[in-house]
Amino acid sequence: MTPELMIKACSFYTGHLVKTHFCTWRDIAHTNENVVLAEKMNRAVTCYNFRLQKSVFHHWHSYMEDQKEKIKNMLLRIQQIIYCHKLTIILTKWRNTARHKSKKKEDELILKHELQLKKWKNRLILKRAAAEESNFPERSSSEVSLVDETLKCDISLLPERAILQIFFYLSLKDVIICGQVNHAWMLMTQLNSLWNAIDFSSVKNVIPDKYIVSTLQRWRLNVLRLNFRGCLLRPKTFRSVSHCRNLQELNVSDCPTFTDESMRHISEGCPGVLCLNLSNTTITNRTMRLLPRHFHNLQNLSLAYCRRFTDKGLQYLNLGNGCHKLIYLDLSGCTQISVQGFRYISNSCTGIMHLTINDMPTLTDNCVKALVEKCSRITSLVFTGAPHISDCTFRALSACKLRKIRFEGNKRVTDASFKFIDKNYPNLSHIYMADCKGITDSSLRSLSPLKQLTVLNLANCVRIGDMGLKQFLDGPASIKIRELNLSNCVRLSDASVMKLSERCPNLNYLSLRNCEHLTAQGIGYIVNIFSLVSIDLSGTDISNEAFCKSSLILEHLDVSYCSQLSDMIIKALAIYCINLTSLSIAGCPKITDSAMEMLSAKCHYLHILDISGCVLLTDQILEDLQIGCKQLRILKMQYCTNISKKAAQRMSSKVQQQEYNTNDPPRWFGYDREGNPVTELDNITSSKGALELTVKKSTYSSEDQAA
């Protein structure tokens, strides 16, 4: 074998061997790739299936959670429905029970009313029969026995404290008369404590100066308070006041004979005076000089309508010890005071807390600014009859801690004054803004955050409506509000009264006079205000007595000029409101004698009664009032055409003040002398003015009748 063949054979063998092994390796490698790829595919499928299951499970879990939440909400809703159903059942039973008890109570009241009325009529019959038998001689023995019985009750046997409490209710004239009964009564009227306060104003027309001097001389060590208001006395009489060394309060207002000389004697003898009223007297700067010199502890001073002192007199208040303890100051009607005068007051009386300035047309914003420069303790402020006061005054008063503020008849005070009232005056409790035309609903919205507000008077603020009152009542101020006067706020409607009944649980005094948009339905919401003591609904559209049924503590009611009212309201008052002390049903032509008989039989505490324009009433009601309403003090009977003059004269001796005439009712009353409606109503304003003039001319009191 040749080398070439050998090489060729080796090459062939090597190539065949390589080819064989490469094919084997290729087959093996290809087989491994398929296995790996299969494994990868398996893993990929497994992963995909896992993710798919996870996604499905997640959706299933969310679905189940939603279903659980729905089931939970459904169960809660079912529970609420069951709870509401239970509450409905309970409330229904409670309502039925309450209605049953209310009906039972109402029936008991009506039954009690009927029994009392029957008893009243029987007593009335017996009294009339006794009056007819009083002319027989055998009556004298019973009278003697009656006198003997009354003598058994001896008031002098009571404790001294009880006797004093009884005599404190009497006037000076009555005390003098009681002292003339007998020796025991004279001793009772000579108790020292009874003469601590002497009111000569009640007897100013009958008591002589000589008696005043002797009284002051006798009780000079006991007298603490003296009232000479309106007394026309000699200077010597005023001089005798100086003997009362312990005098603390002195009122000489409206005394035309009181002079600076009288004041000099009093100031020298009575240095302990705390309260001094010099209103409407002729004092000058001489008296103003005496005040800081002698009255070092003076706290209350009234200089109202004293127009003879000047700014220089106010400067004297800073002399000596000054009037730095002055707390109350009244400068009403002192139009002669300028800005400088108020600056003098600010310098000398820095402790003033209560300031009253009425009927002051010369008062301006600059005067108030000068006053509050140093008087930062003012808490009560009264500005009535000051038309030039504006919003600037409110900004100046922000330095004071006001609690009570009163503005009346001012057209320059606007909503801007109330914009920051809750921040500047957070402690305001009394606000009187009557007849301020610039006040709108925005002001009420600003007042709503005042938490201490108890009295709000917005009478004649005609721009106030339902929206403003709603915003006010939605605030915290409505919880404590006790007195609310919305007279002549003509934009108010039934929605306001409904809101009042919901938000004012402590309301005691409410006036809705002449709110012409109120209806009987709206006024019916008043039944939900159980705390009312006084209601004024005159001039409104009332046709029923529903609002009386819950007012068991009602004392004052005015439903005058509500022509739709009938005897039913008087019956309701007699049943539910037996504590009435003041009632006005003037201009109600449907009221009859039977209703007034029920009123006389039940309302024994009645002090004031106005039946003017009740044309169907006769003399019979006066007899009933004399028997049933023994505490009646003021009786008005204008335009009562069926009440005779003779009966009115008899009644005048039983009351302190009486107004009576038999003229036809004015046309603006809306009916004639027989109670029939009048179709033509013109010149209402002028007729009303004529009515007031007629009332003044026709008024007479029991004293006039006695004269």
Fold identical between 402-552 and 583-678?
yes
Spatial separation of the C-alpha atoms in residues 507 and 550, rounded to whole Å: 14
What are the tokens at 419? 């914009």
Three-state secondary structure along 230-287? CCCCCHHHHHHHHHCCCCCEEECCCCCCCCHHHHHHHHHHCCCCCEEECCCCCCCHHH
Hey, how many other C-beta atoms are within 10 angstroms of the C-beta on 375?
21
Whole-number Å distance between alpha carbons of 292 and 323: 5
Fold (CATH) for 583-678: 3.80.10
Predicted structure pTM score: 0.74
**Residue 627 confidence (pLDDT) above 90:** no
In this prediction, residues 45-49 reach a mean pLDDT of: 90
More confident residue, 690 or 99: 99
Query: What's the pLDDT score for residue 24?
Result: 79
CB–CB of 493/468 below 8 Å? Answer: no
CB atoms within 10 A of CB 325: 14
- Which pLDDT band, with edges at 50, 70 and 90, does 701 fall under? very low
Strand positions, DSSP E, 94-218: 197-199
**Which residues, at least 6 apart from 302, have a Cβ–Cβ distance to it below 8 Å?**
253, 276, 277, 278, 279, 328, 329, 330
Query: Residues 211, 215, 217, 220: what is their CA dihedral angle, to the nearest 10 degrees?
Result: -150
Contact 407, 432 (CB under 8 A): yes
Helices and strands, counts by H and E, the chain: 25, 20
Q: Which of 224, 211, 222 is nearest to 173 (CA)?
A: 211
Q: What is the mean pLDDT of residues 114-141?
A: 65
Res. 528: pLDDT tops 90 = no
Q: Has residue 690 got a pLDDT over 70?
A: no
**605: which residues sit within 8 A by CB, 6+ positions away?**
578, 579, 580, 581, 631
* pLDDT for the residue numbered 157: 76
Q: Is 553 helix (H, G, I), strand (E, B) or coil?
A: coil
Q: Answer whether residue 214 shows pLDDT above 50.
A: yes
Task: Calculate the average pLDDT of the chain.
Answer: 84
Tokens of 638: 């204008």
- Statement: residue 664 has pLDDT above 60: yes
- Is residue 224 exposed (0-12), middle (13-18) or buried (19+ Cβ within 10 Å)? middle
Residue 532: strand, helix, or coil: coil
Residue type, 339: V
Amino acid at 692: E
What confidence tier does 565 reach under pLDDT thresholds 50, 70, 90? Answer: confident
Q: Beta-carbon neighbour count of residue 226 at 10 Å? A: 23
> How is 363-398 classified by DSSP, letter by letter?
--HHHHHHHTTT-TT--EEEEES-TT--HHHHHHGG
Domain 402-552 sits in which CATH superfamily?
A: Ribonuclease Inhibitor (3.80.10.10)
- CB of 447 closer than 8 Å to CB of 453: yes
Q: How far apart are CA 233 and CA 603, in angstroms?
A: 42
The whole-angstrom separation of Cα 42 and Cα 34 is 12
CA distance 175 to 664: 43
The pLDDT value recorded for residue 143 is 40
In this prediction, residue 190 has a pLDDT band, given cuts at 50, 70 and 90, of confident
Q: Nearest Cα to 569, choosing from 520, 613, 607? A: 520
Q: What is the pLDDT of residue 585?
A: 93
The C-alpha atoms of residue 591 and residue 578 are separated, in whole angstroms, by: 18
At 471, which amino acid appears? Q
Query: What is the predicted pLDDT for the residue at 131?
Result: 66
State how far the alpha carbon of 348 is from the alpha carbons of 193, 273, 319, 324, 482, in Å.
36, 19, 8, 6, 37
Residues 248-306: pLDDT tens digits?
999 999 999 999 999 999 999 998 999 999 999 999 999 999 999 889 899 999 999 99
CA 501 to chain centre: 15
Domain range summary for the chain, segments of one domain joined by +? 68-98, 402-552, 583-678
Which parts of 573-684 are beta strand (E)? 582-584, 608-610, 634-637, 657-660
